[in-house]
């Protein structure tokens, strides 16, 4: 259970006061944290492992010390040289200030979006805010981990919910994958369009290269016939043609490499978790282009190696 589903495009933030960190000058933003109210099994369901301390549990009630679990970013940013477990900080501002004790540090997880920088996150137990939780019931989300297709259990989930609480409707039933895909819809569409245009350009380049090499081989029929009449092996004829293909491909790759380095600034805003000049992407592109060039040039090369020397000489 949570009031702020992960990677939903929404976030809740508030200011915090950390012992040892001075208050910022007026008009400047001081220490702050994103936050979510969660149930006791939230970390287990979302498979977020505890790095220090403990997770939230049934002992965290309204009558006990207010506690929180923070993520790695929070711990490293506000407690860089010490363990935050057992430390206190003031959460919120104005009349909503409250003292929280950090009982654990949990592994980082994407909070609002896949694209934005991961903020400090504070997880607080729903069980310590029953009154607020009741008034915010319209913002509560229940998350389930399944062994198979999650949506296959939709009917069962609706039935169980109706049996337990007939007055509560089940709305916005979706999967975490769909929610994540929704936050990068623009980037996915852009990538798919670029892929389609890239494949089309690659096919056109292959056809053009094939036509160029086929025309070149046809013009050199007599030369190839003389070479074979003088004892040239077929594999040498194939290599002679492919060598020209490789020279053209190399020139194209070198020119393209410098163009790509200048053009990456145009697509940088569409990338996340990936550098514009990612070495893996550049190497993969080079390999694919080289293979396509060799494939396009192999047919004319193979045809050239099958030329009959006598027919070639008579043709001359």
Q: Which two tokens stand for residue 33?
A: 């944290």
Asked, for residue 112, whether it belongs to a domain, the answer is yes
The answer to whether residues 135 and 254 belong to one domain is: no
Q: Is the pLDDT of residue 134 over 60?
A: no
Taking the C-alpha atoms of residue 83 and residue 62, their distance in angstroms, rounded to an integer, is 26
Q: What percent of the chain has pLDDT over 70?
A: 90
Asked, for residue 158, whether it belongs to a domain, the answer is no
Q: How many domains does the chain have?
A: 2
Q: What are phi and psi of 140, to 5 degrees?
A: -90, 140
The answer to whether residues 125 and 20 belong to one domain is: yes
Q: What percent of the chain has pLDDT over 90?
A: 20
Q: Which of 39-53, 91-105, 122-136, 281-295 has the lowest mean pLDDT?
A: 122-136
For the residues 239-258, what does the mean pLDDT come to? 86
Q: Is the pLDDT of residue 133 over 60?
A: no
The answer to whether residues 137 and 197 belong to one domain is: no
Q: Which of 59-68, 152-161, 236-245, 261-270 has the lowest mean pLDDT?
A: 261-270
Asked, for residue 242, whether it belongs to a domain, the answer is yes
Task: Compute the mean pLDDT over every residue in the chain, rounded to the nearest whole number.
Answer: 83
Asked, for residue 1, whether it belongs to a domain, the answer is no
Q: Are 5 and 182 in contact (CB under 8 A)?
A: no
For the residues 22-26, what does the mean pLDDT come to? 76
CA dist 52 → 68, 114, 129, 181, 275 (Å): 13, 25, 24, 31, 32
Residue 100: pLDDT band by 50, 70, 90 thresholds? very high
Q: Is the pLDDT of residue 256 over 80?
A: yes
pLDDT for the residue 49: 93
Q: Is the pLDDT of residue 52 over 90?
A: yes
Provide DSSP, 232-271: --HHHHHHHHHHHHHHHHHHHHHHHHHHHHHHHHHHGGG-
Q: Which of 143, 174, 196 is the last residue of a domain?
A: 143
Asked, for residue 130, whether it belongs to a domain, the answer is yes
Taking the C-alpha atoms of residue 224 and residue 98, their distance in angstroms, rounded to an integer, is 88
Residue 138: pLDDT band by 50, 70, 90 thresholds? low
The answer to whether residues 98 and 211 belong to one domain is: no
Taking the C-alpha atoms of residue 290 and residue 90, their distance in angstroms, rounded to an integer, is 60
For the residues 11-17, what does the mean pLDDT come to? 87
Q: Which of 27-36, 119-128, 159-168, 264-273 has the lowest mean pLDDT?
A: 264-273
Residue 227: pLDDT band by 50, 70, 90 thresholds? confident
Q: Is the pLDDT of residue 210 over 60?
A: yes
Q: Which of 118, 143, 168 is the last residue of a domain?
A: 143
Q: What are phi and psi of 100, to 5 degrees?
A: -115, 140
The answer to whether residues 202 and 129 belong to one domain is: no
Of 42 and 92, which is predicted with more confidence?
Answer: 42
The answer to whether residues 86 and 205 belong to one domain is: no
Q: What are phi and psi of 279, to 5 degrees?
A: -60, -40
Alpha helices in 40-110 (DSSP H): 42-45, 72-78
Note down the domain range covering 245.
184-315
pLDDT for the residue 107: 94
Q: Is the pLDDT of residue 283 over 80?
A: yes
For the residues 145-171, what does the mean pLDDT come to? 86
pLDDT one-digit tens code per residue, 77-89: 999 888 999 999 9
Please count the residues of the chain.
316
Find tokens 């993969």 and name the residue. Answer: 284
The answer to whether residues 35 and 136 belong to one domain is: yes
Asked, for residue 194, whether it belongs to a domain, the answer is yes
Asked, for residue 159, whether it belongs to a domain, the answer is no
pLDDT for the residue 165: 84
pLDDT for the residue 314: 65
Q: Is the pLDDT of residue 173 over 60?
A: yes
Residue 28: pLDDT band by 50, 70, 90 thresholds? confident
Q: Which two tokens stand for residue 19?
A: 């012992």
Asked, for residue 65, whether it belongs to a domain, the answer is yes
- Residue 242: Cβ within 10 Å count: 19
Residue 272: pLDDT band by 50, 70, 90 thresholds? low
The answer to whether residues 249 and 300 belong to one domain is: yes
pLDDT for the residue 299: 83
Q: Which of 143, 173, 208 is the last residue of a domain?
A: 143
Beta-carbon contacts of residue 312 (< 8 Å; ≥ 6 apart): 221, 222, 224, 225, 226, 228, 229
The answer to whether residues 208 and 138 belong to one domain is: no
Alpha helices in the chain (DSSP H): 42-45, 72-78, 130-135, 154-164, 176-183, 185-219, 221-229, 234-267, 279-305, 309-315
Of 243 and 129, which is predicted with more confidence?
Answer: 243
Of 90 and 182, which is predicted with more confidence?
Answer: 90
């Amino acid at each position: 259970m949570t009031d702020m589903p992960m990677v939903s495009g929404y976030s809740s933030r508030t200011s915090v006061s950390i012992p040892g960190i001075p208050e910022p000058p007026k008009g400047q933003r001081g220490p702050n944290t994103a936050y979510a109210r969660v149930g006791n099994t939230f970390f287990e369901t979302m498979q977020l492992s505890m790095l220090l301390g403990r997770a939230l549990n049934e002992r965290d009630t309204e009558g006990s010390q207010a506690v929180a679990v923070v993520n790695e970013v929070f711990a490293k940013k506000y407690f860089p040289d010490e363990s935050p477990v057992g430390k206190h900080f003031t959460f919120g501002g104005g009349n909503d200030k409250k003292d929280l004790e950090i009982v654990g540090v949990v592994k980082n997880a994407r909070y609002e979006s896949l694209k934005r920088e991961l903020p400090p996150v504070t997880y607080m137990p729903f069980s310590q805010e029953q009154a607020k939780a009741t008034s915010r019931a319209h913002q509560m989300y229940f998350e389930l981990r399944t062994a198979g297709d999650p949506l296959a259990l939709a009917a069962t989930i609706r039935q169980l919910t109706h049996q337990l609480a007939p007055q509560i409707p089940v709305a916005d039933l979706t999967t975490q994958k769909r929610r994540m895909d929704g936050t990068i819809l623009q980037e996915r569409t852009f990538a798919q369009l670029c892929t389609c245009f890239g494949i089309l350009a690659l096919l056109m380049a292959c056809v053009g290269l094939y036509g160029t090499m086929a025309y070149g081989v046809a013009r050199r029929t007599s030369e190839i016939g003389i070479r074979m009449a003088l004892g040239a092996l077929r594999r040498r004829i194939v290599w002679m043609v492919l060598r020209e293909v490789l020279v053209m491909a190399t020139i194209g790759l070198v020119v393209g490499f410098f163009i790509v380095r200048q053009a990456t600034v145009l697509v940088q805003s569409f990338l996340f978790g990936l550098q514009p000049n990612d070495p893996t992407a550049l190497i993969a592109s080079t390999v694919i282009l080289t293979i396509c060039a060799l494939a396009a040039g192999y047919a004319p090369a193979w045809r050239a190696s099958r030329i009959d020397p006598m027919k070639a000489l008579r043709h001359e």
